[in-house]
Amino acid sequence: MRDVAPSTPLRKWFGHDPDRFDEFRSRYLEELRQEPARTLVESLATLASQDVVTLVYGAKDETHNQAVVLADEVRRLARRPRHEPHAHP
């Protein structure tokens, strides 16, 4: 799912610098909420609400990386209530 990875400019800017992580998180979430990533993240959330989803990453820092941000977003979407459609007069 390459389309859920952070953009190359964002990834290079971040450079796995823990001091930049909060800003990285904010910018990466913006990217995840745009197409085509949004549809893929929603698909992951649907899968996660039904079964275990494992994200694999290569960063050495287990706390400050893109998988942490992606996992949080998938969890958030998997927990959101699903509204049943209803008719209006």
Tell whether 67 is covered by a domain. Answer: yes
Give the pLDDT confidence score for residue 79 in this predicted structure: 87
**Least trusted range by pLDDT, from 11-20, 28-37, 77-86:** 77-86
pLDDT > 90 fraction of the chain, expressed in percent and rounded: 83
Q: If you average pLDDT over residues 9-21, what whole number do you get?
A: 97
Tell whether 84 is covered by a domain. Answer: no
Q: If you average pLDDT over residues 63-82, what whole number do you get?
A: 90
Is 60 exceeded by the pLDDT of residue 28? yes
Q: Which two tokens stand for residue 47?
A: 């899968």
The answer to whether residues 29 and 10 touch, using CB atoms and an 8 Å cutoff, is: no
pTM: 0.86
Q: What is the tally of structural domains in the chain?
A: 1
Q: Which two tokens stand for residue 12?
A: 């290079």
Give the pLDDT confidence score for residue 14 in this predicted structure: 98
Q: CA–CA separation, 60 vs 77, rounded Å?
A: 26
Name the residue range of residue 59's domain. Answer: 2-79
